[in-house]
């Protein structure tokens, strides 16, 4: 439910201005519906086309009923042959592996760093905070060649390590956690400290459990971010065995522009790669909303 309604407690509010006349309202609804279709229709067409045959998809791109109906694209993607240079199962495996590792790493390391920057007093804290804020301004696409240089120099180019390590911490996530920990009343920690708890204990058993909403936000954003990540995998790997859903799909789609179209196959691969994030989105939408608004953090 919308945030405002929760905050105000009552969802039944009278409009401030008088209602518009009926014809205007109906036109408004029609317009809004058209807008909604504009946003939903591409996905609907994607789902429908994934069940079409190639000729059907090419000749009737707008029809909402596949004829004939065929799960061929799905068979092809999960088939033993790996389907026409589309080793979908491998992409899926790689994406899952990397996303899980990156998410776990980010949740742990971002909260540790966020806690230290918010609460622990140590020399260099101000400098590090400034560094994190500064780093947030560096656009990822600027780092394409630089990242490759470093990974190559370290000798880990084209490995899982190269895919995972650089993503294990992200500045935006640190910021979310830092802001959360700053909102925790100090008395809670003081009380635990008087009871004899040390810093690690306070962090792990007292503060972190309180951070559940922030941690869920962080988990979801990290998973979404690493699942949808493209540029980093593009410059950290070159072998097909490390292809993820994004790099694999991008290669097939951009390379196949002039050749046979095979849109049902490509759209099915795109659809399947969208589903995990879509499921997360529909279950935890308010955390995505929070993420969208925290993306605008500037200090």
Partner 1 sequence: MTADVIERPPKRRAPRSPEPGTRNLRRGEGLWGWLFVSPMVTVLGLFLLLPILMAAWVSLLDWDGQSNPFTADARFVGLDNYRNLLTEDGLDRTLFATSLRNNLYYVLLTVPLQTALALTLAIVVNQRLLRGRGLLRTTFFFPSVTSSIAVSTVFLFLFQGSGAINRMLSWIGVQGPNWFADSRGVLRVLLSGLGLVDSVAPGAAAPGEGFMGLAWSEWLAGPSVAMSTLIVLAVWTTSGTFMLIFLAALQDIPRELEEAAALDGVNRRQMLFHVILPALRPVLFLVLTLGLISTWQVFDQVYVMGQGEPGNTTLTPAFLSYTSGFEDADYGQGAAIAFILLAIVLVLTAFQRWALRERGPRTEVRRAGR
Smallest gap from Cβ 245 to partner 1, in A, equals 7
What number of H helices and E strands is found in the chain? 17, 0
Residue 104 binding partner 1, by CB under 8 A: no
- Which residue from 34, 80, 81, 141 is in contact with partner 1, where contact means CB under 8 A? 141
Q: What is the DSSP letter of 21?
A: P
Which range, of 12-20, 70-78, 81-89, 96-104, touches partner 1 by CB under 8 A? 12-20
Which range, of 72-80, 84-92, 96-104, 135-143, touches partner 1 by CB under 8 A? 135-143
Q: Which is nearer to partner 1, 80 or 298 (CB)?
A: 298
* Interface size with partner 1, residues (CB under 8 A): 116
Smallest gap from Cβ 37 to partner 1, in A, equals 9
Residue 122 and residue 126: Cα distance in Å, rounded? Answer: 9
Q: What is the DSSP letter of 166?
A: G
Buried b / exposed e over 196-222, threshold 16 CB at 10 Å, is ebeeeebbeebbbeebeebbebbbbbb
Q: Which is nearer to partner 1, 46 or 70 (CB)?
A: 46
**Helical H runs in 9-164?**
22-49, 54-59, 72-78, 88-119, 125-135, 144-154, 160-164
Smallest gap from Cβ 185 to partner 1, in A, equals 16
Q: Could you tell me the sign of the dihedral formed by the alpha carbons of 208, 210, 211, 212, in that order?
A: positive
Residue 260 binding partner 1, by CB under 8 A: no
Which phi and psi (to 5°) does residue 281 adopt?
-60, -45
- Which residue from 122, 187, 209, 259 is in contact with partner 1, where contact means CB under 8 A? 122
250-255 LR contacts (CB < 8 Å, sep 24+): 252/85, 252/86
Question: Within 23-82, which residues bind partner 1 (CB under 8 A)?
Answer: 32, 35-36, 38-40, 42-43, 45-46, 49, 57-59, 61-62
Residue 179 binding partner 1, by CB under 8 A: yes
Residue 138 binding partner 1, by CB under 8 A: yes
Q: Which is nearer to partner 1, 80 or 123 (CB)?
A: 123
Q: Is the peptide bond before 68 cis (omega within 30 degrees of 0)?
A: yes
Smallest gap from Cβ 183 to partner 1, in A, equals 8
In the Cβ-directed half-sphere of 61, how many Cα atoms lie within 13 Å? 8
Give the distance from CA 167 to its chain's centroid. 13
Residue 283 binding partner 1, by CB under 8 A: no
Q: Which is nearer to partner 1, 6 or 80 (CB)?
A: 6
Smallest gap from Cβ 263 to partner 1, in A, equals 5
- Which residue from 117, 163, 208, 218 is in contact with partner 1, where contact means CB under 8 A? 117
Residue 59: count other Cβ atoms within 10 Å of its Cβ: 10
Residue 218 binding partner 1, by CB under 8 A: no
Cα angle vertex 130, ends 124, 133, to 5°? 145
Smallest gap from Cβ 199 to partner 1, in A, equals 5
Residue 184 binding partner 1, by CB under 8 A: no
């Amino acid at each position: 439910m919308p945030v405002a309604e929760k905050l105000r407690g009552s969802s039944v509010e009278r409009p401030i201005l008088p209602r518009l006349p009926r014809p205007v309202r109906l036109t408004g609804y029609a317009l809004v519906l058209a807008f909604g279709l504009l946003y939903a229709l591409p996905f609907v067409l994607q789902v429908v086309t994934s069940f079409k045959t190639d000729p059907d998809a090419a000749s009737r791109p707008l029809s909402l009923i596949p004829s004939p109906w065929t799960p061929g694209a799905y068979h092809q993607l999960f088939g033993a042959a790996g389907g026409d240079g589309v080793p979908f199962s491998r992409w899926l495996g790689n994406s899952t592996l990397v996303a899980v590792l990156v998410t776990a790493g980010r949740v742990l390391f971002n909260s540790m760093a966020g806690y230290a920057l918010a609460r622990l007093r140590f020399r260099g804290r101000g400098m590090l905070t400034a560094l994190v804020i500064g780093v947030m301004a560096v656009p990822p696409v600027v780092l394409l060649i630089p990242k490759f240089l470093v990974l190559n120099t370290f000798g880990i180019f084209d490995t899982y390590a190269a895919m995972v390590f650089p993503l294990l911490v992200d500045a935006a996530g640190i910021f979310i956690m830092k802001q959360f920990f700053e909102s925790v009343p100090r008395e809670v920690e003081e009380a635990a400290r008087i009871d004899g708890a040390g810093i690690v204990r306070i962090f792990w058993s007292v503060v972190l459990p309180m951070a559940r909403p922030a941690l869920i936000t962080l988990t979801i954003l990290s998973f979404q971010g690493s699942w949808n990540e493209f540029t980093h995998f593009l410059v950290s790997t070159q072998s097909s065995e490390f292809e993820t859903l994004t790099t694999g799909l991008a290669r097939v789609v951009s390379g196949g522009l002039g050749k046979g179209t095979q849109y049902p196959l490509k759209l099915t691969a795109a659809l399947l790669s969208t589903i995990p994030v879509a499921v997360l989105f529909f279950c935890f939408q308010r955390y995505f909303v929070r993420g969208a608004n925290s993306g605008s953090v500037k200090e």
